[in-house]
């Protein structure tokens, strides 16, 4: 019975010691994790956000007190293990879409980022349409250069000189 | 007294401009020469009167007349004379007067130069230039008067009015001097002396080509007369705008302390958009001159260039950029918006009316996809697409979001780089191909043959860049297309010089110089292309390969970054500069590959708060420049234990941007330089003289 008690006491001690080591190790790990957040990591996220005070000033370069607080907030969130997108989403939730350099709301994101491509596509299609229409309406207009501007197809010296001469006539 | 003189001159200038518009309009519509002459005389008076008003304000600034509210706002007894002078454009009402001075100066010179040579266009030219001047002079006179004075009202309150209110009296000179605010610290930099005037020059000088275009539409003289009159002015405007943009970038790099030169800020973009459309116009107008094509397109381009100038001015001065709602609250926002809308709608309406009457029909059709006019049109589409994309990101999306969704958004640099990069790539590709194509006719085969040499040179250069250690397909592609455009410019200069040398027996240098003299616009254009190439290389290097780090150092500690080692020596705190600002200066030594190369002193400039004005701290960088890269360091913050935090950037090839800018200036000056104006008899003789080979003439 005594041997059993001694054995269980020893087991308890080993367990307690093990837990202590685990606790110390995890505390050290947590502290290390906090200290390991560098300014560069903070700035990498801050670069994708805007200063809450100055218009259109990226957060990573702004030196106002508000921006310094925000960067420390980012550092804290990084230390707590949050990801880049979670941190930006948190700022947007608290301060609005203006906090982010690219809107997170899908509608606003679509409006801002995809609309230029849609406009460009429409312009391109419109341009191609106008070009073909123009070509068809211009068929009756002379397409050859004027009389003093002979067409140049050959790449020899004389042809190049003729082309150059046309270019030089201002 | 100075306030009264300035006010009187301003009011007279406004009156003269308004009269000139009415008299020129009446004279043009009724064909009454006397009215047109009278309008011209009134128009010529506007510049001296505006100069008088500006001189009155300048003297008030230099002699510290603090009762004038503008002088009190932008200077104080500590302001050096140098900044008293630049304070003329240091705030809204002064810069508006300065804007008027430049615009009236351009109109004055253009009117004198073109009065005899473009007689038919001149009445309408007066109408347009003076209408624009009258609007801006009216803003200065009625809404943003720089001669308003400070008064103490009978109830002890302070008022700023042009005329003395009943019972009011002037405050004591001592009190005014003690409370005067001084120039915004951001503007106390050498770049700020030159940057705003150049940008204003670029903006206002576009009024001249715009007015010529509108004169052509209004008068019905739709020949190339307006283009011949306008093209040099457009080039001058473009040069000033380019210089303004470049110096603005340099100022941002030196003063704003964020490691870069272009932040895609709406204010920067507002100046870049007219530059892009103006560049499209400069190319497109050649097609109309050479081939009689794109008459409507050219009208639209010059209209939208000027419209973008007015919009950019409106957006930056009205508060629109802060919030879509704030412009209505600004004193000039509503008026400027209406003016911008009116100018754009009337001009577009006039163009459509002439188009509808069939007066802007092309004289030739497109000859083929490889012809120069087709490639120029594609290049135009790219420039306009760039302008639209940048407009959308800077103004379109934020305004729409605020109006429709009641949500403030701002788009960061990532939007602009993502959207504009492919368009810039297309621009460089077209810049590389178009100069080798021919007007009117061209085949892909011939174009391909002409591309062999520049393409080969590009491949060799890329190989060398790869051997030097540059990696990444995207970067090499970007370097490749940019270098191709530069090699094409060099190749074309060399090829034409060689062709002339073979034909005349001159050596190639003489032959090339002679060709430059024969068509400055063409060869100046190639030099501009070279400048844009060098700028492009700088932008790619400093954007794709910029490296940065931020670290806190104790005195004596060193930061290792790439092949640099920066050692922190300590801080000189509380230094006092001549203009009263405090400075905390960090002392650093910089070594590269073990050898000391520089001592750097990044600092904080601290402007203490004064009555009615908040204090401001500016972070001024220290930098060590080589052609290869810039080591750029910011003193972020000092700690109580003597340590300090530094942010370091290494910006590869960034100096190529400034060197490219210089090349661009030289090229534009060559292009814009007036040709020798020989007497008509001499020109006749020259024309009659036969030449051995066309190209050598």
pLDDT of residue A1: 44
CA dist B256 and B261 (Å) reads: 9
Reported as a pLDDT band with limits 50, 70 and 90, residue B29 is: very high
pLDDT digits 0-9 by tens, B532-542: 999 999 999 99
- Distance between first and last Cα of chain B: 62
pLDDT of residue A139: 57
* Both structure tokens of B547: 């490296």
pLDDT of residue B58: 95
pLDDT digits 0-9 by tens, B675-694: 755 555 555 555 555 444 44
DSSP 3-state of B440: coil
Q: Which residues contact B600 (CB under 8 A, 6 or more apart)?
A: B566, B588, B589, B590, B622, B623, B624, B631, B633
- Nearest Cα neighbor of B424 from B302, B284, B272 is B272
Domain count, chain B: 2
CA dist B273 and B263 (Å) reads: 15
Inform me whether the C-beta atom of residue A33 falls under 8 Å from chain B C-beta atoms: no
pLDDT score of B492 more than 80: yes
**How many CB atoms lie under 10 A from the CB of residue B237?**
30
* Both structure tokens of B579: 């203009």
pTM of the model: 0.86
For the ranges B28-42, B318-332, B374-388, B623-637, which has the lowest average pLDDT?
Answer: B318-332
B145-171: average pLDDT: 87
pLDDT score of B410 more than 70: yes
B615-636: average pLDDT: 90
CA dist A115 and B388 (Å) reads: 11
pLDDT of residue B299: 93
Boundary (domain end) residue, out of B188, B223, B250 = B188
Are residues B397 and A98, on separate chains, in Cβ contact within 8 Å? Answer: no
DSSP 3-state of B115: coil
pLDDT of residue B77: 86
Q: What is the DSSP letter of B255?
A: I
CA dist B510 and B395 (Å) reads: 51
DSSP 3-state of B258: coil
In-domain check, residue B603: yes
CA dist B579 and B661 (Å) reads: 32
CA dist B525 and B435 (Å) reads: 10
Top pLDDT among B5 and B437 is at: B5
Are residues B438 and A155, on separate chains, in Cβ contact within 8 Å? Answer: no
Q: Which residue has the tokens 């007007």?
A: B439
pLDDT score of B185 more than 80: no
pLDDT of residue A164: 77
CA distances from B168 to B156, B173, B299, B358, B421 (A): 9, 15, 53, 63, 60
pLDDT of residue A23: 54
Are residues A43 and B400, on separate chains, in Cβ contact within 8 Å? Answer: no
CA distances from B224 to B42, B221, B452, B602 (A): 28, 8, 36, 55
pLDDT digits 0-9 by tens, B131-152: 999 999 999 999 989 999 998 8
* Segments forming the whole domain that contains residue B585: 547-652
CA dist B171 and B151 (Å) reads: 6
For chain B, what is the mean pLDDT?
A: 88
Q: Which residues contact A154 (CB under 8 A, 6 or more apart)?
A: B446
pLDDT of residue A160: 77
Are residues B446 and A170, on separate chains, in Cβ contact within 8 Å? Answer: no
In-domain check, residue B553: yes
Q: Which residue has the tokens 């204003």?
A: B200
Boundary (domain end) residue, out of B144, B166, B188 = B188
Q: Taken in order B607, B91, B237, B305, is the CA torsion positive or negative? A: positive
Reported as a pLDDT band with limits 50, 70 and 90, residue B442 is: low
For the ranges B169-178, B460-469, B563-572, which has the lowest average pLDDT?
Answer: B169-178
Quick one: how far is CA A59 from the chain centroid? 14
pLDDT of residue B148: 92
A36-45: average pLDDT: 90
CA dist B410 and A57 (Å) reads: 10
DSSP 3-state of B409: coil
pLDDT score of B586 more than 80: yes
**How many CB atoms lie under 10 A from the CB of residue B555?**
14
Phi, psi of A71 (to 5 degrees): -65, -35
pLDDT score of B43 more than 90: yes
- Nearest Cα neighbor of B290 from A170, A63, A114 is A170
B38-49: average pLDDT: 96
**Quick one: which H or E segment has residue B160?**
strand B158-161
Q: Are B301 and B322 in contact (CB under 8 A)?
A: no
Q: Are A54 and B257 in contact (CB under 8 A)?
A: no
Are residues A103 and B401, on separate chains, in Cβ contact within 8 Å? Answer: yes
Q: Find the CB nearest A163 among B385, B438, B518.
A: B438
Residues on chain B touching A43 (C-beta within 8 angstroms): 548, 550, 647
pLDDT of residue A152: 44
CA dist B478 and B424 (Å) reads: 10
**Quick one: which H or E segment has residue B238?**
helix B225-251
Shortest alpha-carbon distance between residue B154 and chain A (Å): 38
CA distances from B373 to A137, A154, B273, B380, B512 (A): 17, 19, 23, 10, 25
CA dist B27 and B36 (Å) reads: 5
Reported as a pLDDT band with limits 50, 70 and 90, residue A24 is: low
Are residues A103 and B446, on separate chains, in Cβ contact within 8 Å? Answer: no
Q: List A residues 76-95 in contact with B (Cβ-Cβ < 8 A).
A: none
Residues on chain A touching B362 (C-beta within 8 angstroms): 138, 141
pLDDT of residue B612: 59
pLDDT score of B664 more than 90: yes
Top pLDDT among A147 and B34 is at: B34
Residues on chain A touching B697 (C-beta within 8 angstroms): 165
DSSP 3-state of B506: coil
Q: Find the CB nearest A153 among B443, B503, B550.
A: B443
Residues on chain A touching B389 (C-beta within 8 angstroms): 116, 119-120
In-domain check, residue B335: no
pLDDT score of B21 more than 90: yes
Top pLDDT among B321 and B474 is at: B474
pLDDT score of B604 more than 80: yes
Are residues B397 and A112, on separate chains, in Cβ contact within 8 Å? Answer: yes
Are residues A120 and B259, on separate chains, in Cβ contact within 8 Å? Answer: no
CA dist B582 and B664 (Å) reads: 39
pLDDT score of B580 more than 80: no
Q: Find the CB nearest B694 among A112, A113, A161.
A: A161
pLDDT digits 0-9 by tens, A133-170: 666 665 555 544 444 444 444 446 777 777 777 777 75
Shortest alpha-carbon distance between residue A78 and chain B (Å): 17
Boundary (domain end) residue, out of B188, B211, B230 = B188
Are residues A116 and B522, on separate chains, in Cβ contact within 8 Å? Answer: no
CA dist B39 and B24 (Å) reads: 5
Best A161, A166, A169 member to test B by mutation, with max B CBs in 10 Å, is A161
Q: Which residues pair with B586 in a beta bridge?
A: B571
> Residue B439, CB half-sphere, CA atoms under 13 Å: how many?
25
**Quick one: which H or E segment has residue B161?**
strand B158-161
B192-204: average pLDDT: 84
pLDDT of residue B685: 58
CA dist B277 and B46 (Å) reads: 29
CA distances from B347 to B19, B213, B277, B476 (A): 22, 9, 16, 44
Strands, E assignment, B494-643? 547-553, 558-561, 564-576, 582-592, 595-600, 603-607, 616-620, 622-625, 629-638
3-class secondary structure per residue, B338-393: HHHHHHHHHHHHHHHHHHHCCCCCCCCCCCCCCCHHHHHHHHHHHHHHHHHHHHHH
Q: Taken in order B250, B256, B262, B265, is the CA torsion positive or negative? A: negative
**Quick one: which H or E segment has residue B159?**
strand B158-161
Are residues B503 and A138, on separate chains, in Cβ contact within 8 Å? Answer: no
CA distances from A145 to A132, B130, B547 (A): 20, 40, 53
3-class secondary structure per residue, chain A: CHHHHHHHHHHHHHHHHHHHHHHHHHHHHHHHHHHCCCHHHHHHHHCCEECCCCCCCECCCCCCHHHHHHHHHHHHHHHCCCCHHHHHHHHHHHHCHHHECCCCCHHHHHHHHHHHHHHHHHHHHHHHHHHHHHHHHCCCCCCCCCCCCCCCCCCCHHHHHHHHHHHHCC
CA dist B675 and B697 (Å) reads: 15
Q: What percent of chain B has pLDDT over 70?
A: 93
pLDDT score of A6 more than 70: no
Reported as a pLDDT band with limits 50, 70 and 90, residue B613 is: low
B565-574: average pLDDT: 92
Q: Are B676 and B668 in contact (CB under 8 A)?
A: no
CA dist A140 and A135 (Å) reads: 10
Shortest alpha-carbon distance between residue A87 and chain B (Å): 17
Radius of gyration of chain B (CA): 28
- Distance between first and last Cα of chain A: 115
CA dist B534 and B249 (Å) reads: 16
Reported as a pLDDT band with limits 50, 70 and 90, residue B564 is: very high
pLDDT score of B174 more than 50: yes
Burial A67-77 (b: 16+ CB within 10 A, else e): beebbeebbeb
CA dist A124 and B423 (Å) reads: 13
pLDDT of residue B370: 73
pLDDT of residue B329: 57
In-domain check, residue B4: yes
pLDDT digits 0-9 by tens, B338-369: 999 999 999 999 999 999 888 888 777 666 67
pLDDT of residue A154: 44
pLDDT score of A77 more than 50: yes
CA dist B129 and B309 (Å) reads: 14
Are residues A142 and B549, on separate chains, in Cβ contact within 8 Å? Answer: no
Q: Find the CB nearest A56 among B410, B521, B551.
A: B410
Strands, E assignment, B491-557? 547-553
Q: What is the DSSP letter of B692?
A: S
């Amino acid at each position: 019975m005594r041997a059993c008690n001694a054995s269980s006491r020893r087991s308890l001690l080993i367990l307690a010691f093990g837990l202590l080591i685990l606790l110390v190790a995890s505390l050290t790990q947590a502290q290390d994790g906090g200290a390991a957040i560098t300014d560069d990591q903070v700035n990498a996220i801050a670069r994708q956000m805007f200063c809450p005070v100055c218009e259109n000033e990226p957060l990573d370069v702004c030196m106002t007190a508000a921006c310094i607080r925000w960067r420390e907030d980012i550092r804290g969130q990084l230390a707590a293990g949050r990801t880049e997108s979670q941190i930006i989403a948190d700022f947007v939730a608290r301060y609005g879409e203006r906090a982010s350099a690219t809107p997170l709301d899908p509608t606003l994101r679509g409006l801002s980022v995809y609309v230029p491509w849609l406009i460009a596509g429409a312009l391109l299609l419109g341009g191609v349409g106008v070009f073909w229409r123009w070509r068809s309406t211009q068929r009756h207009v002379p397409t050859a250069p004027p009389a003093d501007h002979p067409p140049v197809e050959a790449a020899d010296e004389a042809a190049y000189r003729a082309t150059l001469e046309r270019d030089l006539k201002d | 007294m100075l306030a009264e003189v300035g006010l009187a001159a301003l009011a007279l200038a406004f009156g003269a401009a308004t009269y000139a518009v009415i008299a020129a309009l009446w004279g043009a519509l009724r064909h009454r020469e006397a009215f047109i002459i009278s309008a011209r005389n009134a128009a010529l008076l506007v510049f001296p009167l505006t100069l008088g008003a500006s001189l009155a304000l300048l003297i008030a600034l230099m002699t510290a007349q603090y009762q004038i509210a503008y002088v009190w706002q932008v200077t104080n007894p500590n302001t050096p004379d140098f900044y008293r002078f630049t304070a003329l454009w240091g705030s809204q009402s002064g810069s508006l007067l300065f804007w008027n001075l430049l615009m009236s100066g351009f109109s004055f010179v253009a009117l004198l130069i073109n009065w005899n040579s473009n007689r038919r266009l001149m009445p309408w030219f007066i109408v347009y230039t003076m209408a624009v001047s009258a609007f801006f002079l009216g803003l200065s006179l009625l809404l943003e008067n720089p001669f308003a004075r400070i008064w103490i009202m009978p109830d002890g309150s302070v008022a700023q009015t042009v005329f003395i209110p009943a019972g009011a009296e002037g405050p004591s000179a001592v009190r005014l001097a003690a409370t005067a605010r001084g120039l915004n610290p951001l503007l106390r930099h050498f770049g700020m002396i030159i940057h705003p005037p150049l940008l204003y020059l670029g903006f206002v000088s576009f009024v001249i080509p715009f007015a010529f275009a509108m004169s052509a539409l209004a008068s019905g003289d739709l020949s190339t007369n307006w283009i011949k009159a306008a093209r040099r002015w457009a080039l001058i405007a473009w040069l000033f705008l380019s210089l303004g943009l470049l110096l603005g970038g340099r100022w941002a790099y030196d003063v704003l302390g964020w490691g870069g030169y272009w932040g895609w800020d709406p204010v920067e973009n507002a100046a870049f958009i007219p530059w892009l459309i103006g560049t499209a116009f400069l190319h497109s107008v050649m097609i109309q001159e050479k081939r009689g094509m794109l008459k409507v397109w050219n009208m639209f381009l010059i209209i939208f260039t000027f419209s973008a100038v007015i919009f950019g001015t409106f957006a930056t001065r009205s508060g629109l950029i802060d919030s879509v709602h704030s412009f209505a609250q600004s004193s000039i926002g509503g008026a400027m918006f209406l003016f911008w809308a009116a100018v754009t709608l009337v001009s577009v309406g006039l163009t459509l009316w002439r188009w509808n009457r069939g007066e802007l029909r092309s004289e030739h059709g497109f000859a083929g996809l490889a012809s120069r006019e087709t490639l120029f049109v594609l290049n135009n589409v790219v420039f306009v697409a760039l302008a639209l994309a940048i407009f959308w990101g800077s103004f379109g999306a934020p305004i729409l979001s605020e109006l429709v969704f009641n949500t403030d958004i701002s788009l960061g640099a990532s939007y602009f780089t993502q959207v504009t990069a492919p368009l810039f790539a297309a621009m460089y590709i077209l810049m590389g191909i178009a100069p080798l194509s021919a007007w009117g006719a061209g085949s892909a085969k011939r174009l391909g043959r002409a591309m062999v040499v520049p393409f080969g040179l590009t491949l060799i250069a890329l190989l060398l860049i790869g051997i030097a250690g540059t990696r990444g397909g995207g970067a090499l592609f970007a370097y490749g297309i940019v270098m191709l455009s530069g090699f094409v410019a060099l190749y074309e200069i060399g090829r034409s010089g060689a062709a002339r040398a073979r034909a005349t027996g001159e050596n190639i240098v003489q032959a090339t110089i002679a060709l430059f003299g024969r068509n400055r616009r063409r060869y100046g254009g190639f030099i501009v292309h070279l400048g844009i190439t060098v700028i492009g290389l700088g932008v790619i290097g400093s954007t794709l390969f910029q490296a940065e780090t931020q670290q806190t150092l104790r005195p004596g500690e060193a930061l290792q970054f790439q092949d640099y080692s920066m050692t922190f020596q300590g801080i000189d705190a509380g230094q006092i500069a001549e203009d009263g600002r405090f400075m905390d200066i960090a002392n650093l030594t910089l070594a590269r590959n073990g050898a000391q190369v520089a001592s750097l002193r990044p600092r904080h400039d601290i402007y203490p708060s004064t009555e009615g004005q908040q204090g401001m701290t500016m972070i001024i960088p220290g930098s060590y420049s080589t052609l290869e890269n810039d080591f750029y360091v910011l003193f972020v913050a000092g700690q109580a234990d003597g340590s300090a935090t530094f942010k370091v950037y290494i910006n590869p090839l960034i100096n190529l941007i400034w060197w490219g800018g210089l090349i661009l200036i030289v090229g534009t000056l060559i292009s814009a330089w007036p040709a020798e104006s020989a007497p008509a008899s001499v020109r006749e003789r020259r024309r009659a003289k036969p030449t051995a080979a066309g190209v050598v003439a």
